[in-house]
Amino acid sequence: MMRKILPGIVFILSAQMATAEPVTVAALGDSLTQGYGLPQADGFVPQLERWLRDNGADVVLVNAGVSGDTSVGGAARLDWTLTPEVDALIVTLGGNDLLRGIDPSVTRTSLEKILSGAEDAGVEVLLIGMPAPANFGADYKAAFEANYSELAEAYGVLFVPNFLSALTDGGTDPSAARAFLQEDGIHPSAEGVARIVDTIGPVALELVEKAGGD
């Protein structure tokens, strides 16, 4: 009897593995996510997808980055970004809020709308923060950056404090980023993206594992 049962178990397990679908992750962001100025394969989303697969993840990343988008724009796009197949969400928004000097409270409201919507949809989230420049003043900088850490804690989501930390020696030397930026001085080069992915990759892998129920 046991000899008959074992092949059946093996068949069932094999069938389950064959039909298992990859975890789908949508990356909601601006030009940093979209891959502005780079060949498609060198952008953040393709490089991160390769990193995750090289590290054993069965994953598909969807590029939901729109150049020039603010956190308000990202929040407005959430409903059609969270299509039924999306299991997890990476949120990288706020860079254009800074460029436009948008009040940190506006950014906070938009980020909270995104996190709340993802929570309602049962979607795991990785929130990635953006560093505010000192020229806006200490109060603005503190309020803007606190948005990310405070909301990540409030919603219990995975969190990376600074998208650009890999380019700035952990945030201690902003001038160090120049070697890893494109000519516009804003967007990372392909090498810069690779450094960013190496830093964010382990947390993104944790996101995939959570979304996959591992």
Q: Which residues are catalytic?
A: 31, 184, 187
Asked whether the beta carbons of 59 and 25 are under 8 A apart, the reply is: yes
Query: Maximum distance among all alpha carbons in the chain?
Result: 76
Tell me the one-letter amino acid at 53: R
The whole-angstrom separation of Cα 210 and Cα 175 is 36
Asked if residue 26 lies in contact with residue 207, where contact means CB atoms within 8 angstroms, the answer is no
Contact by Cβ (8 Å): 125, 115: yes
Q: Which of 26, 48, 28 is nearest to 188 (CA)?
A: 48
Residue among 196, 176, 211, 170 nearest 47 (CA): 196
Q: How far is CA 65 from CA 28, 33, 110, 153, in A?
A: 5, 5, 16, 24
